[in-house]
Amino acid sequence: ILNVEQSPQSLHVQEGDSTNFTCSFPSSNFYALHWYRWETAKSPEALFVMTLNGDEKKKGRISATLNTKEGYSYLYIKGSQPEDSATYLCALGPLIQGAQKLVFGQGTRLTINP
């Protein structure tokens, strides 16, 4: 059974501050690592998919890094804004039976205090 861990479970950050959180996963048989942002009552929004060790991706104020050898990924948010409040999910995407099966972590619930 694949175990994807995210920490912390929840986080309160002051508007304007930068923050980061972690996704840990087993490093064997790695295929892809996905990050999603999920606001309440909306669809989970795909942020990044990373496949190579050392990958860094950036989308506006949000960026992510990947270390497949040690089995972790970091998500960074620079200059947090109230609209960044959401649950951030990472998902490991191993190939099983030729398809990519997403195995999600429990998520980090981020609240930005104005």
Partner 1 sequence: DTEVTQTPKHLVMGMTNKKSLKCEQHMGHRAMYWYKQKAKKPPELMFVYSYEKLSINESVPSRFSPECPNSSLLNLHLHALQPEDSALYLCASSPGIVRTQYFGPGTRLLVL
95 binds partner 1 (CB under 8 A): yes
Q: Binding to partner 1 by residue 1, rule CB under 8 A?
A: no
Q: Provide DSSP, 37-89.
A: EE-TTS--EEEEEE-STT-EEEETTEEEEEETTTTEEEEEESS--GGG-EEEE
Q: Which of residues 18-37 bind partner 1 (CB under 8 A)?
A: 31-32, 34, 36
Contact range with partner 1 by CB under 8 A, out of 11-19, 38-46, 58-66, 70-78: 38-46
Q: How many CA atoms lie within 13 A of 31 on its CB side?
A: 13
What is the CA 49 to chain-centroid distance, rounded?
Answer: 9
Question: How near is the Cβ of 104 to partner 1 at its closest, in Å?
Answer: 4
Q: Which is nearer to partner 1, 13 or 103 (CB)?
A: 103
Say if residue 49 is exposed, middle or buried (CB neighbours under 10 Å; 0-12, 13-18, 19+): middle
Rule CB under 8 A: say whether 102 interacts with partner 1: yes
Q: Does 44 bind partner 1 (CB under 8 A)?
A: yes
Contact residues for partner 1 (CB under 8 A)?
4, 31-32, 34, 36, 41-46, 49, 89, 93, 95-107
